[in-house]
């Protein structure tokens, strides 16, 4: 039996397997990497009228820009093709009818012709983007180049996603700055096999997981995303970012920033820990404020949407961060669309937030019923939320909104009434109500499947209410 047949029969995650995979997929060293952000939605979901008035989300591909910085530091040539932005920009500037799929395919053609990459990475954040991701990957097959995928959606439903995209050669899971970079360096002969992990090979009709965890450390997070590759200063011209874009004058340039990764909470309906792990890792305050200064002074950004899931995790650090924004005299306002944890909304913290330019924030209470709060492992009590609301009402310049959720397993009308009563007593500017939408690979999803309350469909078959391409449209 020759070596190839041995590997095909064993299919185990060892160096021999990986080297054969490289032999079959990589003809040369990797000198150029193309990173692609697919359109948020496919042609069937796309509403031209929404795009024409600039109302679709147009976030920077922040993770790809961070990955690009890591690669560039290793002398790898990188381009980022933001197809979502290209489509929205075309619709806004050109009111003529256009063929949605033909348009993004031509953008891919032009980029591959001009850049000639050796390796392609395609990212997918949302479940609703699955079909778009699949379309892009299927189209890339004709170029006979190795294509990898990654992102939150891919992490949450990796095996099913790979089953649906046989042309993709591998999937990177969770935060992939280290695993992706180490893999590229391994192909180039500059990294050991022992430092390979956090990816799954789609090889010889088998899925071969390399499970070694390669989580970026706090020091790894101290980098500036490659903003020059993503036209960060024009994104908000053709779309929106966050929940509070209407609070700023028309023409205000928006961007995003991430000061830490992860969340201390263990909410059973949330997938943050699937992607970021169980801890909260924090960048240095200096690194974060350096990034804000670059955005403000070099790109003309006037408003920041924090991407953090636990922005206020460390009170003293949060206050230092907000005070540093003031000391640098940055002409910025900001909001916490992703939300903050109520217990951290002390008077001292909120005062620093206000002085540094905070105009709005969200608090995720979800339920005002004590039993449900315990059931979903929410990091707070009814008293915690009422206390936070009392503090926030002292700062009327900060628009505050509470997220409410109904439809938890076993929840009764009386329990829902508790939620409404607590929200009324909080008396914030706005209460946002949504039904529970169980995300694949979360504790509440698995529990509801086990109870027969929902079916374990593939993540690609689920369409949620929220987002630019949600069911409410």
Helix (H, G, I), strand (E, B) or coil at 381: coil
Question: Are the C-beta atoms of residues 388 and 423 closer than 8 Å to each other?
Answer: no
pTM: 0.94
Question: Are the C-beta atoms of residues 121 and 35 closer than 8 Å to each other?
Answer: yes
| Rounded-to-integer distance, Cα 473 and Cα 259, Å | 32
Question: Do β-strands 254-257 and 206-210 pair in parallel, antiparallel, or remain unpaired?
Answer: unpaired
Give the burial string for 307-319 (b: 16+ CB within 10 Å, else e): bbbbbbbbeebbb
Question: Do β-strands 119-123 and 147-150 pair in parallel, antiparallel, or remain unpaired?
Answer: parallel
Helix-helix angle 100-115:83-93, to 10 degrees = 120
pLDDT in tens, the chain (473 residues): 344 444 444 568 999 999 999 999 999 999 999 999 999 999 999 999 999 999 999 999 999 999 999 999 999 999 999 999 999 999 999 989 999 999 999 999 999 999 999 999 999 998 889 999 999 999 999 999 999 999 999 999 899 999 999 999 999 999 999 999 999 999 999 999 999 999 999 998 899 999 999 999 999 999 999 999 999 999 999 999 999 999 999 999 999 999 999 999 999 999 899 899 988 999 999 999 999 999 999 999 999 999 999 999 999 999 999 999 999 999 999 999 999 999 999 999 999 999 999 999 999 999 999 999 999 999 999 999 999 999 999 999 999 999 999 999 999 999 999 999 999 999 999 999 999 988 888 899 899 999 999 887 665 556 555 566 665 55
């Amino acid at each position: 039996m020759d070596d190839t047949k041995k590997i095909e029969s064993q299919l185990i995650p060892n160096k021999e397997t990986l080297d054969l995979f490289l032999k079959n997929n990589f003809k040369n060293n990797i000198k150029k990497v193309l990173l692609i952000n697919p359109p948020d939605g496919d042609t069937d979901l796309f509403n031209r009228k929404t795009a024409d008035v600039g109302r679709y989300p147009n976030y920077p591909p922040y993770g790809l820009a961070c990955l690009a910085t890591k690669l560039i530091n290793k002398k790898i040539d990188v381009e980022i093709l933001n197809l979502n932005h290209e489509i929205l920009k075309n619709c806004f500037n050109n009111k003529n009818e256009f063929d949605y799929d033909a348009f993004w395919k031509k953008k891919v053609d032009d980029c591959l012709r001009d850049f000639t990459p050796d390796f392609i990475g395609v990212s997918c954040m949302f479940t609703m983007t699955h079909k778009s991701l699949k379309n892009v990957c299927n189209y890339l097959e004709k170029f006979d180049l190795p294509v990898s995928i990654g992102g939150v959606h891919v992490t949450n439903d990796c095996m099913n996603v790979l089953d649906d995209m046989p042309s993709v050669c591998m999937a990177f899971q969770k935060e992939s700055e280290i695993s992706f970079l180490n893999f590229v360096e391994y192909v180039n002969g500059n990294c050991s096999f022992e430092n390979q992990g956090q990816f799954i090979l789609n090889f010889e009709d088998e899925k071969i997981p390399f499970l070694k965890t390669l989580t970026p450390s706090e020091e790894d997070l101290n980098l500036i995303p490659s903003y020059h590759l993503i036209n960060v200063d024009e994104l908000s011209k053709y779309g929106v970012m966050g929940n509070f874009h209407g609070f700023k004058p028309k023409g205000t340039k928006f961007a995003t920033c991430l000061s830490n990764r992860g969340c201390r909470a263990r909410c059973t309906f949330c997938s943050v820990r699937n992607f970021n792990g169980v801890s909260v890792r924090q960048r240095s305050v200096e690194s974060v404020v350096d990034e804000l200064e670059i955005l403000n002074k070099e790109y003309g950004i006037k408003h920041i949407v924090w991407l953090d899931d636990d922005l206020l995790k460390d009170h003293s650090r949060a206050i230092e961060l907000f005070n540093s924004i003031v000391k640098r005299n940055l002409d910025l306002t900001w909001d916490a669309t992703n939300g903050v944890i109520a217990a951290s909304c002390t008077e001292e913290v909120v005062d620093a937030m206000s002085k540094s330019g905070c105009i709005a924030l969200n608090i995720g209470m979800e339920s005002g019923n004590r039993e449900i709060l315990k059931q979903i492992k929410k990091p707070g009590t009814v008293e915690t939320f009422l206390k936070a609301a009392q503090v926030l009402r002292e700062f009327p310049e900060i628009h505050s909104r509470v997220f409410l959720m109904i439809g938890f397993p076993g929840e009764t009308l009386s329990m829902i009434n508790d939620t409404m009563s607590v929200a009324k007593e909080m008396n914030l500017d706005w209460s946002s109500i949504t039904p529970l939408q169980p995300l694949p690979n979360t504790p509440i999803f698995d529990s509801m499947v086990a109870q027969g309350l929902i079916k374990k469909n593939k993540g690609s078959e689920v369409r949620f209410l929220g987002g630019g391409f949600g069911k409410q449209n």
